[in-house]
Structure 1
Amino acid sequence: MREVAATWFAVMRGPDAEVRRAEFEAWLAQDSLHRETYSRIAEIFSLGKGLATPASRQQPAAAVPDRGRARYPIIALSLVVATLGGGAWMIGLAQSALHTKPQSIRAETGPLALNARYATRRGQISRIRLADGSTITLDTNSSIAVAFDKTSRLLRLRSGRARFDVAHEDRPFVVSAGTGSVTARGTVFDVAVQSTGTVAVRLLRGVIDVALSSNTAERLTRKPVVERLRPGQQVVMAGTTLTGARSLSSPIDANWPNGELDCDRASLATVARAANRYGNIRIALADPALGNLRVSGAIRIDDSRKLADRLALLFDLRVDHSDPTRLVLRAP
């Protein structure tokens, strides 16, 4: 019934609303349960505005590729699909046309000093503009060292994750991380140093070369080990290993510089883990089975309290605040 009510809710806010109004009103009059369920969907839709994040006025350092216009011009309707107690239900999440940038993002401009270092604290995402016009978006708990001279642009990602939007010029732009490096001239890419020491490199736009360090490559093959990436591809460096490039269809965290997850039936457990990287208060699940609930839509993850409250409302759960270090989601 909730699936049917959610479908009617979408139809009556779309271009076919007037054509199907008589059919809708007949369905609504059939049973009081229809009206109650429809009202519940409308209520949750309104609450869902706190979860959904619309596009910003200013494009981020690397915009997520356009996935096409929504079918309904008045609102972009996402669906949260949950399975709890054997029943599936859908909830609409509203998206408006404009919003401000996340407060966690801090822009830094001005001339770049040689051998400069930048770091972010937990929960902070910082956008740094370099002297050559390039930008670095530094994720939570990350640090990077930058050194420019007349012939090269050298950077080393010491920890965490960063997105690089590289200005095109003759000097090579080289980012070192782990046992390898990334060379680019004008492109957009992510580099992430995992807690295990492995390094993931993902290309969003342009072309880059990912290579193991000279010493590592020579020990292995006596020749350079290089992988050239195309947009949408990723490689992983793990010690003396460089995996082959593989394509990523739609990464859940492609829009991380704006503090968002782009979820397409992502598990609640995945959403909680991502949010816990940013918040000082963790989101925990009282029952591991709750982690199988599925979420779709653009979801803000840089405010743990708000996220936990919205998820609880949308999934008919409750938030246990008894532990000051955790927000525990429980079944009623």
Structure 2
Amino acid sequence: MTELALTADERLVLHALELIVKIELQGAAGADRLNRKLAQWRAADTRHEQAWCEAMTRWTALSGMGNELRAHFPQVNQDGKNRRISRRRLLAWTLGTVGLASLGSGGSWYLHQPLYARSFRTGHTQTLVVTLPDAAGAATAATSLELNARTGIDVRLFRSRRLVILEQGDVRFSVLHDRSRPFFVQAGAGTVMVRGTTFTVSCRAGALTVAVEEGHVSFYRESSAEKIDPERTLADAELFGGQLLHLRDGTLEVLRQADASAVADWRNGWLNFNDVPLDEALAQINAYRQNPIRLADARAGMQRLTGRFRVASSYDMPRILTEILPLQSRTLPDGEVELRSRS
């Protein structure tokens, strides 16, 4: 069998894993002694603590492994005496089960498990700021996400990449630059890739907008980030600061000069629309309404809306829209408002 070339840090992780496995196999008395030993080892060096955190991440990814461990390594012989497990056998089992980065084509199974996985949802009128645990050190600013109302995202941080899946809504990203871990945003029919920049992604009513305030992002007409190889996959558009992209019904439009910050003006309590189809605009407006505005006919949805409106005026928008567009409104018994084209 070929000897594995392990780094010093990886040896520390394996040592922590070995202690975790031994604790799992021991009875209560033995586990207490090993827990004290583990606590002393962690406290002896900051590298030990970091190694323990990584070991626990790998161990947690294999939840429910306790029963399988006991099946491989019975605790007690028939004579009632504890069975002594050789360090070599225990370490080999741990290596084979938990895996190392140095094993085989691109890494072992655990590398494909996220280090961090969370979902975030906001209700109507609610916004949220999320800081991701992806900073390299205490002096490094982590990635920050600002979620608009009625927004839903799933976050997955892996060892070699970072991924946000935007189900619907609006998110402004301030992404930590990390060349070794590219950052992907998967939204609707497209995916954005970035290593460090500030930009906003909006995905509502079947339309996708990407607005870059500073930095550089690549856009792919690909709904799965896993299919994108940053070194080989050709992007459908490259966006830089002050540029905006819009995708709807398969039509891709790139605006080379745009006020990208205006797309995230909801952060300041404003909604900005610049010649936007009304059905798209209503998806933004309804994020702040408990009783949404509906369209009674397709012609009404094709009306174009331009203007800057306060978020606080969302409940007065039916009246405002009928004053500036050829529309009429009526309130339905359930409280929703219906807009239809004037005859």
TM-score tier, shorter chain, comes to 0.3 to 0.5
The two structures have a TM-score, normalised by structure 1, of: 0.47
Relative to its length, the structure with more strand (as a share) is: 1
Highest relative contact order (Cα 8 Å, sep 6+), 1 or 2?
1
Relative to its length, the structure with more helix (as a share) is: 2
The two structures have a TM-score, normalised by structure 2, of: 0.46
